[in-house]
Structure 1
Amino acid sequence: MDVTMPYNGGLTAEQFLFYEMRIVSKQYLEGKTIDEIIDYIKRDNLFQYPTERKISKLARACQRRIVALGNEKLVYELANAPVEVAKQINLYAMMSYNRLVREFMTDLIGEKYRQHDFSYTKKDINMFFSRLREQNDDIALWSEQTITKLKQVLTKCLIETEMLDNFRAHELNPVFISTELESGIRENNDLTALPAFNCFR
C-alpha cells in the first residue's frame, strides 16, 4: 500500500460489505465492467437494499477493493471460498484499499498479536485515533460523530473475522490466517500485512 495515500473516512458508509463483495467479485471474474455489474445487481436486486440509491456507490466501492487486492487468485477465493476464508480476504481487501483500515490492523491489532497481548478495549482504539489526529491534519478535522462511527466499523471488522466475539468483548481471539490468504499476501510481497492476521512465520 502507498503510505502517501490520503486517509479516507468513506468507511462510515462502506463498512464490511461481505455479501456485496462476494456478488461483485463473481461478476468481476466473468470480465464484466463495473456498469454491467451495477445493472446486473439492480435488475435482480441482488444486494436486497430497500432502494437503488446506494447500489451504484457501494458496488463501485467493492470493485475498488477488488482491484486493490491486485491478485486474481485472491479475488477467486473471495468469490468462492468458505465464508471464514473469504471474510479474511475481504478484510485484507479493505486493508489494501483503505489506509485507515491498514494502519488499524497492522499498527494496533498486529502489534497486539506480536506481543501476545490479547486485550482490546475502548482505550486502545481511542489511543489509536488520538495518535492519528495528532499526526494528520485531515483526520484532526473529522467530527466526533465520524470518529465514533469509524470505531464501530473497525471493531465490526474484527467481529466479522472472529478476531473479537462481539462489541462487548475485551479480548482478541488468536486467529489463524487461512492458507489462501497467506499465499496471496506472500505473492503480493506484502509481508507487513501478515501480523494483522496473527502470522509471524
Structure 2
Amino acid sequence: MNNVYCAGLMSQSFWFLEFKRLVYSVKEGKTTDEIKKLCIDENWFGAVNSYRAKRMYGYIIKRVKSMDDSFSNIFVSSDVSTQKLINLICIMKLDRLFFEFIYEVYREKIILGNCEIGTNDVTTFFINKANQNDEIAGWKDSTVKHLRSTYMNFLTESGLAVNIDNNKTLKRITPPLLDMTLESYLNNNNGTSVVKAITGVN
C-alpha cells in the first residue's frame, strides 16, 4: 500500500477497458515499451492528444505493474464484475487516501447497516483528514471537489454503489460478493484489509 497522501486521482478516471487491454497485452508477452508505443502512436485510448495518451498510459501501467502474475491470472480468468473490482483494488493499492475512504467510510456504512453513501460523506471524510494531515489541509477547495467527484464515480463504475433515480448526490451501496479465488488471493497476499474494506467485514 502506498503510504503517501496525494491528489493524483483527480487526474484519473476508472479506465476499466483501458486497464483490461493493458493487462491482456502484458499477458500476451508485449513489453511495456511496445505497449507505450501502441498507446501513443496508435492512440489505443482515444486520447485527445499525445500528451494525454502518455499521461493515461503512465497511470494505467502503474495499476498493471502493481499486480503479480497470480493476480493478473485471476483477472484474465474472471467475469467482468470481478475484473472491475480488481481494477479498483489496484487503485486502492496505489492511493492510500482512496483506500482509507473505502475502509473508513464505505465499510463503516455497511457495518452499521446504512445503505446509502453521498457527497456529504466524502466531504466529511476530507474535513477529518485535513484536520489530521497538513498536506491535505493545504489542498484547494477545487482539488477536494474534483476528488469527491472521482471517488463517487469510482464507487459506481466498480459496482460498489449504484445511482439512485433523480438523486445526483446520493448512491445506494451494493457490497460485492467476492469471487472465492480473488478473496483467497487477497487474504494470502496482505490484502485482508482490502477484503474488509469492500465487503464490510468487521
TM-score (normalised: structure 1):
0.88
Displacement of 1:80 in angstroms is 5.3
Give the drift of 1:6: 1.4
Q: How does 1:80-95 map to 2 (within 5 A)?
A: 81-95=78-92
Structure 1, unmatched stretches of 5+, are: none
Relative to structure 2, which stretch is displaced further, 173-182 or 186-195?
A: 173-182
Q: 1:170 to 1:58 in 2, by over 3 A?
A: closer
Contact 2:119 2:169 (8 Å CA) reproduced: no
How far off its partner does 1:99 sit? 0.6
Residue 11 of structure 1: how far off its partner (Å): 0.6
1:23 equivalent in structure 2:
21
Matches within 5 A, 1:112-123: 112-123=109-120
In 2, Cα distance between equivalents of 1:59 and 1:134: 34
Question: How far 1:199 moved relative to its partner?
Answer: 5.4
Offset of 1:31 from its aligned partner?
4.1
Q: What amino acid is the match of 2:85?
A: Q
Aligned partner of 2:63 in structure 1 is 65
Are 1:133 and 2:130 counterparts?
Answer: yes
Q: Does the aligned pair in 1 maintain the 2:116–2:173 contact within 8 Å?
A: yes
The secondary structure found in structure 2 opposite 1:171 is strand
In structure 2, what residue type is equivalent to 1:177?
Answer: L
Q: Does 1:152 align with 2:153?
A: no
Establish whether residue 52 from structure 1 lines up as the match of residue 50 from structure 2. Answer: yes
Count of aligned pairs: 198
Q: Which has the higher strand share?
A: 2
1:42/1:77 CA distance change after superposition, 3 Å:
farther
C-alpha distance in 2, partners of 1:138/1:30? 41
SS of the residue 1:53 aligns to: helix
Measured on the aligned residues, the alpha-carbon RMSD in Å equals 2.0
How many percent of aligned residue pairs carry the same amino acid?
25
| Pairwise CA distance, 1:44 | 3.0
Contact 2:108 2:200 in 1 (8 A): no
For residues 24 and 58 of structure 2, the distance between their equivalents in structure 1, rounded to whole angstroms, comes to 14
Q: Which runs of 5+ in 2 are unaligned?
A: none
Residues 170/44 of structure 1: CA separation in 2 closer, same or farther (3 Å cut): closer
Which whole-Å deviations, capped at 9, do the CAs of 1:30-81 have from their partners, x for residues lacking one? Answer: 3443322110223432212232221122212112122223x32322343453
Task: Name 2:190's counterpart in structure 1.
Answer: 189
The answer to whether the 8 A contact 1:174-1:198 is kept is yes
Contact 2:118 2:169 in 1 (8 A): no
Q: Secondary structure at the match of 1:16?
A: coil
**1:142-194 deviation digits (Å, cap 9, x = unpaired):** 11111001011111111012222124434312332233431221231221111
Closer, same or farther: CA 15–189 of 1 in aligned 2, 3 Å = same
